[in-house]
Structure 1
Amino acid sequence: MSLRPILLTSGDPSGIGPEIAVKACLAGERFVWLGDPRHLPKGTAFREVTDLAELVPQRVLPVLRHDFAAPALPGQPDPANAAGVIAVIERAVKLVLAGEVSAICTAPIHKKALKDGAAFAFPGHTEFLAHLAGVSRVVMMLACPDLRVVPTTIHIPLSEVPVALTEALLEETIRITHAGLIRDFGIAAPRLAVAGLNPHAGEGGAMGWEDERLIRPLVARLAAEGMAIWGPLSADTMFHAAARAGYDAAVCMYHDQALIPIKTIDFAGGVNVTLGLPFVRTSPDHGTAYDIAGRGVADATSLVAALRMAREMAARR
């Protein structure tokens, strides 16, 4: 059975999104780009489509047109285009929920630019997608061929992590991760490694109480249910090659605990995956890169990986 196309949102048109979309197309990836053709690099071979299933010659970019208020200058976000960035995301969600596309892949947005230009009320892309889908809780996973990681708390100061880290939050994160590995990654019996919060996973309470009083009892309860899960584990010994072979995903307690190892292992090829949505969503694991936008030097490796992962996940669903 052939899949509906993957839809790639334009993201911030002043960032590297448009140029890496073209590079991905030239690399042979097949998808439909949703955005304003004026924002594509000069000389891009593209074809506007109204039928999302229309076949377009390889290395010609199919474009589902969405007009923005203004042209785009690389590296210089225009507040006039903020509403267009948001509208593209909203349109993409409507299309995937209607079954017109099999998955969405989102190019990077810049949260401050959206807040300045359109009073964007969400912490980030992921929370906005959850809102549009009517889902109260989703999980951010970063994935590459050698590692999958999930941060339980994300974009908050490190000083706030112990307060934000509750048993309910951690349990929900683990259950959504477990279900996502089954549904989207085809792993029948996922193995989860759970990191401790404190150094040496608290060392029996000598370096903090959270590991012994919060994490360990929860992990034991989930293991008693039949889940293949271990922890809390000392985070400094979880990510070497032999340790990674023993689990399918690592559930971490905070942002850098999860992202430092995956960005060290595969800086260019990591993919941001949102688990818990009623549709497949992936994204390259980088930002708008205003500093290099328009220079033609942006690396499309992460976008190519995100498009391929979206296709694989959609096929499993």
Structure 2
Amino acid sequence: MSQKQPLLITTGDPAGIGMDVVLLLAEAGKLQDFARPIWVTADAKAMQTRADQLIAAGVLKNCPTWQSVALTSSLITDIDSMDFNTANNAFLLLDIPCAEPVLAGRIDTKNAAMVAKQLEIAHQLAVSETVAAIVTGPLQKSALIDADIKLLDGTMFSGHTEFFMQQSGCEKVVMMLANQVMKVALVTTHLALRDVPAAITVDNVRQTVQIVLDDMQSKFGIANPCILVCGLNPHAGEGGHLGMEEIEIINPVLQEFIAAGVNVSEAMPADTLFTSRHLNKCDAVIAMYHDQGLPVLKSHGFGDTVNLTLGLPYIRTSVDHGTALDLAGGGGASATSLYQALVMANEMANKSLSR
């Protein structure tokens, strides 16, 4: 095994394009760009079938080579005893069999347990520091919900973020999206706009700022990051004339951090914060809600955007697209987002203070 820890890709739902984009990068030789082994979770038979389909469709010229490992119940023991041939193989495939044969583009809830198993293995390998980072491919949340896959707390499966948060025993994590222009973290995520103000609490703002600060230092290697924070209301409340959240909630929290020597702004109007004059001087932006920050970020590079989960005890990045069932096995899928997610994971692993 290489001295550097591997990057682990979970391919997500086998009916989607997760395997396609891995194969595209493998054939192009792009998985060798990171000076780390690349490990992939997938069904070995489905991976070979998908490669054959892409060759038949003229998407792949040649089938990439990989080394397949069938896992037993003792995962870490298996991994520690493996001899991965990095010279002749594009990636190491951790074989997680599906319950039913995989048909490209057709979701089968009987294979939902395999999708969940990928995430369990990824968490185990990451928390044990066997791998340097997890890079997640797209899954179909509805398939896991329909298959009655539950989170640790017994609630329905609601996504990668909640799964890894609960597996890691974290009270809160922060969603951040990043590209080459900016990094934007969110205080609230997928809420109806009418529900956002009630979720802007002292604790929520304080925890978000602390998690962003901690991860910018520990995972991005920035000792004194500059963090800019959006207000909730137009003009950051206009001195209370357009809302009191900045005066009563947001700024008192930010002033605590400022008094402690943190390089963070008070609440700023979002319509002027997202300008080059401010962005050129900051390391991360914290937005109060989803569509306050993410449309601006994605306008600067939709295909190059990476989803990150901050606050976990390990690095997790993700593609910014879904399963794209209509493209699976037939061509048209782009591997750009997966490549950028690998780039981000590798850079974070290289800069991480824990490695």
TM-score by length of 2: 0.85
Paired position in structure 1 for 2:135: 105
Query: Are residues 1:33 and 2:40 paired?
Result: yes
Counterpart selection for 1:73 from 100, 103, 106: 103
Paired position in structure 2 for 1:219: 254
Paired position in structure 1 for 2:51: 42
Identity %: 39
Q: CA deviation at 1:53?
A: 5.8
Paired position in structure 2 for 1:186: 221
Query: Counterparts in 2 of 1:165-314, with a 5 A limit?
Result: 165-314=200-349
1: CA distance, partners of 2:286 / 2:196:
15
2: CA distance, partners of 1:234 / 1:116:
42
SS in 1 for 2:286: strand
Is residue 138–residue 275 contact of structure 1 (8 Å, CA) maintained in 2?
Answer: yes
SS in 2 for 1:119: coil
Query: Counterparts in 2 of 1:7-22, with a 5 A limit?
Result: 7-22=8-23
Is residue 113–residue 149 contact of structure 2 (8 Å, CA) maintained in 1?
Answer: no
Paired position in structure 1 for 2:58: none
Which 10-residue stretch deviates more, 145-154 or 282-291? 282-291
Q: CA deviation at 1:78?
A: 0.6
Q: Any stretches of 5+ residues in structure 1 without a counterpart?
A: none
Q: CA deviation at 1:192?
A: 0.6
Deviation per residue, 1:137-156 (Å, 9 max, x gap): 11111111210000110011
Q: CA deviation at 1:201?
A: 1.1
Residues 300 and 269 of structure 1: CA distance in aligned 2, closer, same or farther (over 3 Å): same
SS in 2 for 1:185: coil
2: CA distance, partners of 1:222 / 1:65:
47
Is residue 9–residue 135 contact of structure 2 (8 Å, CA) maintained in 1?
Answer: yes
Deviation per residue, 1:139-187 (Å, 9 max, x gap): 1111112100001100111111111111100110000001100111111
Is residue 194–residue 229 contact of structure 1 (8 Å, CA) maintained in 2?
Answer: yes
CA RMSD, Structure 1 to Structure 2 (Å): 1.7
Deviation per residue, 1:85-144 (Å, 9 max, x gap): 001100111112223212111111121111012333232111100111122211111111
Is residue 4–residue 53 contact of structure 1 (8 Å, CA) maintained in 2?
Answer: no
2: CA distance, partners of 1:53 / 1:216:
54
Q: Any stretches of 5+ residues in structure 2 without a counterpart?
A: 33-37, 53-62, 70-77, 151-155
Q: CA deviation at 1:81?
A: 0.7
2: CA distance, partners of 1:100 / 1:270:
26
Is residue 15–residue 74 contact of structure 1 (8 Å, CA) maintained in 2?
Answer: yes
Residues 274 and 66 of structure 1: CA distance in aligned 2, closer, same or farther (over 3 Å): same
1: CA distance, partners of 2:326 / 2:249:
43
Paired position in structure 2 for 1:23: 24
Is residue 79–residue 118 contact of structure 1 (8 Å, CA) maintained in 2?
Answer: no
Query: Are residues 1:152 and 2:187 paired?
Result: yes
Deviation per residue, 1:10-56 (Å, 9 max, x gap): 21111111101112223321411111023322334332146566123
Query: Counterparts in 2 of 1:112-123, with a 5 A limit?
Result: 112-120=142-150, 121-123=156-158
Equivalenced residue count is 317
1: CA distance, partners of 2:165 / 2:5:
22
Q: Which contiguous aligned blocks of 4+ residues in structure 1 show a shift greater than 6 angstroms?
A: none
Which 10-residue stretch deviates more, 1-10 or 151-160? 1-10
SS in 1 for 2:134: strand
1: CA distance, partners of 2:275 / 2:19:
36
Q: Which amino acid aligns with 1:140?
A: M
Is residue 37–residue 63 contact of structure 1 (8 Å, CA) maintained in 2?
Answer: yes
Instruction: Kindly name which structure, 1 or 2, has the bigger radius of gyration based on alpha carbons.
Output: 2
Is residue 12–residue 288 contact of structure 1 (8 Å, CA) maintained in 2?
Answer: yes
Q: Which amino acid aligns with 1:278?
A: P
Paired position in structure 2 for 1:63: 93
Q: Which amino acid aligns with 2:103?
A: L
2: CA distance, partners of 1:26 / 1:267:
24
Which 10-residue stretch deviates more, 219-228 or 169-178? 219-228
Q: Which amino acid aligns with 2:9?
A: L
2: CA distance, partners of 1:292 / 1:237:
39
TM-score by length of 1: 0.95
Q: CA deviation at 1:295?
A: 2.5
